[in-house]
Each structure stands twice: as structure tokens, then as C-alpha cells.
């Protein structure tokens, strides 16, 4: 039981350290120091920093509130917008720092670790499938353009979001979020109306 708790503390510390510093800049000692555990105990719980990174990615993914995308008591397009608003607010609260751990690992380590690359690919795939589910419902409700391919559009939206976080971090401002919401929700997803015709 004590061991389980130490393992959990290491995973929580790893999420925070990887997220704030990056994969390469966060050493095993940084992580065990942050967890308040001896560095020597690390390898009782994890084979490598790489294998810890995959567990950290799963724990981070579970904090993305993806289940909210399927909450049928809220209109699907509203759910989708609230999802990205939650993610935006989290980044604003962090002073526009940290971004998304999944995207960060994708940019920094995906080329160099097949294990982490697989974790990133699966995380993005699951996330996109949840977004796609909300898009399908929104199309049925008539609030999203009916001629969009929901799976393709979901992957595109998620990728646009990951790039938006990079822009927000580089400018330390929320302007990139405005670009995302206005363009994605105001234009891309919006059903055609007479008024919007050129």
C-alpha cells in the first residue's frame, strides 16, 4: 500500500515536471525530489524515464475531461465549445505556459522514442474520436455544417488546438485562442446561412 502510494506520487510529480519543464529538461532526480521520494526508489517502480512518461501521458489524458464531450444533457456544439474553453482557461490560469503535455511530447520526443510516440498517437486518436462523436451529434442537431466529415474535422480541430497553444505560449496572450474560437466555431463548423454568403 505504501509502495502504491509512492508510485502514484512519482506519477503525479512526473506529470507536473514534464509539463512545466519538458521531457529532456525534467530529470529523474527532479521528479523524485518533487515527489519527496528517494531517487534510488525510482527504479523499483519504473523501468525508465521513458516508461514513466507513458504513464504520465495517460494520467494527463485522463485530466482532459474528455467524458464531458459525451455529456448528453448539454447540446453537442455547446459541449464542444465548453471543452476548448476549459482547456483555454487552464492555460490562461497557468500564465500562458505549459501548453498540452501530449503536444509537447509530440514536438519534443516523438521522433526519438517509439514508446512515447505511440502514447502520443493513441492519446490524440482517442481525443479526436471524442470530438468526432460530439460533431456527429451536432450535425444531427443542425448546429454544425452537415457536409463536414466529422472524423477528419475532429482531427483537424485538435491539431489546430495544439498549434494554437504554441502561439499562445509564444505571445503570452490569449489572441490565438480568439483566432481559434472565431475561425473554428464562427466559420468552419457554422452551417451556411444566407447572411454569411459572400
Binding positions for a second copy, rule: CB under 8 A:
20-22, 24-25, 97-99, 103-104, 106-112, 117, 120-121, 124, 145-149, 152-153, 155-156, 158-164, 166-167, 169-172, 175-176, 178-180, 182-184, 187-188, 191-192, 196-198
Least Å from the CB of residue 85 to a second copy: 17
All cell numbers assigned to 34: 518533487
Please say which residue, 19 or 79, places its beta carbon nearer to a second copy.
Answer: 19
> CB under 8 Å to 131, separation ≥6 — which residues?
69, 80, 83, 154, 157, 158
CA distances from 26 to 29, 37, 97, 106 (A): 8, 16, 16, 16
Largest interatomic CA distance in the chain: 67
Neighbouring C-alpha atoms within 13 Å toward the C-beta of 119: 27
Q: Which is nearer to a second copy, 5 or 48 (CB)?
A: 48
**CB closer to a second copy out of 36 and 163:** 163
CA atoms within 13 A of residue 162's CA, in its CB half-sphere: 17
Torsion of Cα atoms, 67 then 72 then 74 then 79, to 10°: 40
Nearer to a second copy, 70 or 146 (CB): 146
- In whole angstroms, the minimum distance from the beta carbon of 132 to a second copy comes to 12
Least separation in angstroms between CB 124 and a second copy: 6
Question: Which of 6, 158 has the CB closer to a second copy?
Answer: 158
Smallest gap, in angstroms, from Cβ of residue 105 to a second copy?
Answer: 8
Q: What single-letter DSSP state applies at residue 132?
A: H
Q: How far is the CB of 46 from a second copy (least distance, A)?
A: 20
Amino acid at each position: 500500500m505504501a509502495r502504491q502510494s509512492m508510485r502514484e506520487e512519482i506519477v503525479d510529480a512526473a506529470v507536473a515536471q514534464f509539463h512545466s519543464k519538458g521531457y529532456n529538461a525534467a530529470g529523474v532526480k527532479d521528479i523524485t525530489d518533487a515527489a519527496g521520494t528517494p531517487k534510488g526508489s525510482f527504479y523499483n517502480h519504473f523501468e525508465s524515464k521513458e516508461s514513466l512518461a507513458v504513464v504520465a501521458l495517460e494520467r494527463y489524458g485522463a485530466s482532459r475531461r474528455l467524458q464531458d464531450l459525451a455529456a448528453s444533457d448539454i447540446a453537442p456544439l455547446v459541449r464542444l465549445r465548453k471543452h476548448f474553453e476549459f482547456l483555454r482557461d487552464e492555460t490562461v490560469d497557468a500564465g500562458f505556459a505549459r501548453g498540452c503535455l501530449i503536444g509537447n511530447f509530440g514536438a519534443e520526443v516523438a521522433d526519438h522514442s517509439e514508446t512515447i510516440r505511440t502514447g502520443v498517437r493513441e492519446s490524440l486518436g482517442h481525443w479526436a474520436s471524442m470530438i468526432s462523436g460530439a460533431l456527429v451529434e451536432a450535425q444531427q442537431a443542425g448546429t454544425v455544417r452537415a457536409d463536414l466529415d466529422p472524423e477528419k474535422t475532429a482531427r483537424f480541430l485538435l491539431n489546430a488546438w495544439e498549434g494554437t497553444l504554441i502561439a499562445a505560449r509564444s505571445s503570452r496572450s490569449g489572441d490565438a485562442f480568439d483566432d481559434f474560437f472565431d475561425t473554428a466555431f464562427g466559420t468552419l463548423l457554422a452551417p451556411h446561412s444566407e447572411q454569411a454568403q459572400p
